[in-house]
């Protein structure tokens, strides 16, 4: 028969305004957010745990702290901990967090304190 619009199905999906913005909803937590969670849990002396929730995968009982993801069962969590993504994320988390001073230094916002060109005479 033919399409009433005269276009192939899915032809408009390549246009930018029709693309789905999935990269925002699938985005992983940043390393500094995870480091903050870990330090808060260490200060409180309790591990990060969730109450049972039907909306989370596995009821929220199988949670990977390093990546911030929920899994359906213990086997899926164990397989995840063997993955390259998990190991790389653990390595990133061992590095120290950047401070605001380091960020300003890297962008060139801070000024060096140089000794005076002509020191005062005594």
Question: In the predicted model, is pLDDT for residue 87 greater than 80?
Answer: yes
- Name the percent of the chain lying above pLDDT 90: 20
> Which domains are assigned to the chain?
27-94 (3.30.160)
- Coil, strand or helix: which one is 26? coil
pLDDT digits (tens, 9 = 90+) for 6-24: 677 777 767 766 666 655 6
Q: Is the pTM of this model over 0.75?
A: no
Q: How far is C-alpha 84 from the geometric centre of its chain's CA atoms?
A: 16
For residue 104, what are its two tokens?
């300003």
Non-local CB neighbours of 19 within 8 Å, separated by 6+ positions = 13
Helix (H) or strand (E) holding 87: helix 84-94
Nearest to 62, CA basis, from 46, 78, 38: 78
| CA gap 101, 5 in Å, rounded | 58
């Amino acid at each position: 028969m033919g399409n009433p619009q005269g276009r192939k199905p899915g032809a408009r999906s390549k246009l930018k305004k029709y693309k789905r913005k999935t990269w925002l909803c699938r985005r992983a937590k940043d390393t500094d957010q995870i480091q903050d969670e870990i330090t808060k849990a260490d200060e409180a002396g309790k591990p990060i745990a969730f109450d049972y929730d039907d909306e989370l995968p596995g009821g929220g009982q199988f949670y990977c702290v390093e990546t911030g993801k929920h899994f359906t069962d213990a086997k899926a969590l164990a397989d995840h901990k063997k993955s390259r993504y998990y190991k790389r994320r653990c390595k990133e988390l061992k590095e120290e967090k950047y401070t605001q001073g380091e960020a300003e230094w890297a962008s060139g916002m801070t000024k060096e304190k140089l000794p005076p060109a002509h020191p005062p005479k005594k």
